[in-house]
Amino acid sequence: RSLRALRVGWRLCWAEAAEEERSHMAFLSHDISMLRLFDTFLENAPQLVLLLYSVLHAGKAEPSQGVGICTAFLCMTWALLDYHQSLRSFLQDKHELGWGSSAIYFLWNLLLICPRILAVTLFAVLWPYGVSVHFPLVWLAMFLWVTLQGTDFMESPGPEQLYRAVVAVILYFSWFNVAPGRTLQRSIIYHGFILVDSALLALAWLWGHPSADEQPYLVPVLCAALPCYLLGLLLRGCYYTWLHPNVCTARGGDEVDTAEVGADRRMEEVEFRTMAEPDLVNPRIRCLAQSHFPGSALAGPRLLNGAAA
């Protein structure tokens, strides 16, 4: 997909592009954005935990390892921001993220991911085999939770179960919304669970680490992780209070009845299926955008891939 996007993008730079080519380019970019997010949490996040584990176990870090750790944290947060911007391009009025909104979204995700990674790594330093028990248990709980939400992302049951399994891995490290409707209650449940789980991992490390610790800086760093997580939740609340597209939509027009919005969306989807070509449609990302922004109007049939963004 990346190579195809480069070829199409190269043609768009040097020739007058038709509307179908622009739509196809948008289709590829949205797919790449989501695949990058999957790759980040399936590969980069476990590698980051392993790298931190090796550094803490050895008691020293090379400059290249420090740069790699910082870069990994920034790339994970950037993948979340890029995915969020990709979803927002499906909205009718766009509500594009400004620099301030992007900075807040990036920062609160970074503040939530760092304590989680740190807690898991410190637990692995003392009990390496404990992580092999902890991860499957938490992953199973997240998988059941996603299943109960009734996702409808893939076209057949088998791939849908695989998608839920991947989402459960993402939820082990970070929040990821997959079901339509209001997310406040689900978000409170998730962050409450992760906060308690991370606190238990941190307390287990504080209880089990040797008294003559060769790394005394870890205790204050770990004590600062809780305020860091709470600050991330505070910034998240500020973002969804003043900068979320649902809030902007509510300010920009009259309140619309939910049933009418649902009926309009169903009619729009029917109209889209009759007008658009299948190879230019990205229904999966559009479905996630509809779940992530339930109060915002989605773009019309010609802009379903966010081609005008």
Q: Which residues, 6+ apart, have CB-to-CB distance to 77 below 8 Å?
A: 106, 109, 110, 113
Q: What is the mean pLDDT of residues 121-144?
A: 92
Q: Cα–Cα distance between 51 and 121 in angstroms, integer?
A: 9
Higher pLDDT, 170 or 128: 170
pLDDT tens, position by position, 212-251: 556 677 888 888 888 999 999 999 888 878 776 556 555 5
Q: Are 104 and 244 in contact (CB under 8 A)?
A: no
Q: Cα–Cα distance between 14 and 6 in angstroms, integer?
A: 12
Q: Cα–Cα distance between 64 and 139 in angstroms, integer?
A: 31
* % of the chain exceeding 70 in pLDDT: 70
User: Taking the model in full, what pTM does it have?
Assistant: 0.78
Phi and psi (nearest 5°) for 51?
A: -65, -45
CA–CA–CA angle 116, 118, 120 (5° rounding): 70
Q: How far apart are the first and last CA of the chain?
A: 20
Q: Which residues, 6+ apart, have CB-to-CB distance to 119 below 8 Å?
A: 198, 199, 201, 202, 205, 222, 225
DSSP β-bridge partners for residue 298: 91
